[in-house]
Amino acid sequence: MEEFLVNKFSSIVAKSTLFLLIFVFPVLVFAASEASVIFLLIEPGSRPGGMGQAYVAQVDDGFAQYWNPGAMSFNRKNQFALMHSNWFGSLGGDLSDMYYEYFGWNKYFEELQGNLGFNLIFLTYGTQEKTDETGKFLGTFTSYELALGSTYGYQYSDNLGLGLGFKIIWSDLSPEGTGGTETGAKGRGLSYAFDLAFLRKNFFLNGLSWGINLQNVGPNITYVDNDQSDPLPMNFRMGLSYRIYEDDFLKFTANADMNKMLANNDWVLKRLVSAWYDDGGFMSRRERESTILGFGGEMTYLNLLSGRIGFLYDEEGKRKGVSFGAGIQHTFAQRYLGYFNFAMEPAGELTDYNHTFSLGIEF
């Protein structure tokens, strides 16, 4: 029965458009023309960032709601996770007011026989100028997008966790009349989506975990009318994590992930199949180039200090290279475990590396 379940479960503002095209996380360049609200693909957490964004089968902290809600089912504590980043602050100019925020929390509830969590993703594109059809300055406005989500994780057995997530998505890119657009036309859209995930521990080998997360399954988001709607960035994420060595002093873990956005104009369920071959055929060069691969490893000493290294291969996003990371965690008051992580991640064409920070606590 368990194996059966595993198998079955198994324009708008120019500045905003620029951000979508060059965004330095796992966002495909062609995605701007195929999907909207691709801020949902920005991967939170500096721990995975230091390992080439390979984390779907290892995640065990407060970022599990994003990476794999099925992994959340094994938690028996309160878990909080935070991330704040000013991606392009070092470049200055119009890019300095763009911020990304992530907050996640989850806890096990006996009465629900599982873990319940809530999370918030927020991205602001900063201040924009509003003009009429002649280019006359009419003031400024702020563009932003957010997703408010809830997740549930159920531990089916000692080694199998199932996860379900639901999110409301709001995109507010421009007010009515921006750039001389017609009256009543606003760059604002609302939609919803589901995430379906599982984590299988001790998969054929002790210490080997297998995870899958199908993210952002939902209807198109509409800004003006249904004829001008855009698909959500439905995303398939799969990975393996293997605990190579562990004793009282050292732990070594190796991870490998693949990540592919399933975005086209087909009906949402048909897209699960068609998005694998609609760009030149199944396993065509274009399809291979649109698949993101990540590899990484982590060494932890005395459950206190961690060092990480990884490699990210994203041909479409022009992000290829080695990532680095480090972290520290400490238990205080014999109850609270706090952690802080830092990563340097390949950034693409604008700058060599992104520097990210994240933190969390569990008790």
Q: Residue 109: count other Cβ atoms within 10 Å of its Cβ.
A: 11
Domains, the chain, ranges and CATH?
2-362 (2.40.160.40)
Task: Tell me how far apart the alpha carbons of residues 264 and 70 are, in angstroms, rounded to a whole number.
Answer: 27
What digits encode the pLDDT tens for the residues 300-315?
Answer: 999 999 999 999 999 8
Mean pLDDT of 105-125: 95
Least confident of 113-117, 146-150, 264-268, 304-308: 264-268
Mean pLDDT of 221-249: 89
Torsion of CA 186, 32, 148, 15, to 10 degrees: -60
Task: Tell me how far apart the alpha carbons of residues 17 and 15 are, in angstroms, rounded to a whole number.
Answer: 5
Least confident of 23-32, 131-140, 237-246, 347-356: 23-32
Least confident of 105-109, 302-306, 343-347: 343-347
Least confident of 1-10, 38-47, 155-164, 266-275: 1-10
Mean pLDDT of 131-139: 71
The answer to whether residue 32 scores a pLDDT higher than 60 is: no
Is the distance from CB of 282 to CB of 274 less than 8 angstroms? Answer: no
The answer to whether residue 51 scores a pLDDT higher than 70 is: yes
> How high is the pLDDT of residue 116?
97
Confidence label for 246 from pLDDT (cuts 50, 70 and 90)? very high
Mean pLDDT of 194-218: 97
> How high is the pLDDT of residue 13?
34
Q: What residues pair up with 210 in beta bridges, in sequence order?
A: 200, 240
> How high is the pLDDT of residue 140?
76
Is the distance from CB of 162 to CB of 198 less than 8 angstroms? Answer: yes
| pTM of the predicted model as reported, rounded to 2 decimal places | 0.83
> How high is the pLDDT of residue 178?
56
> How high is the pLDDT of residue 288?
82
Least confident of 103-107, 307-311, 332-336: 332-336
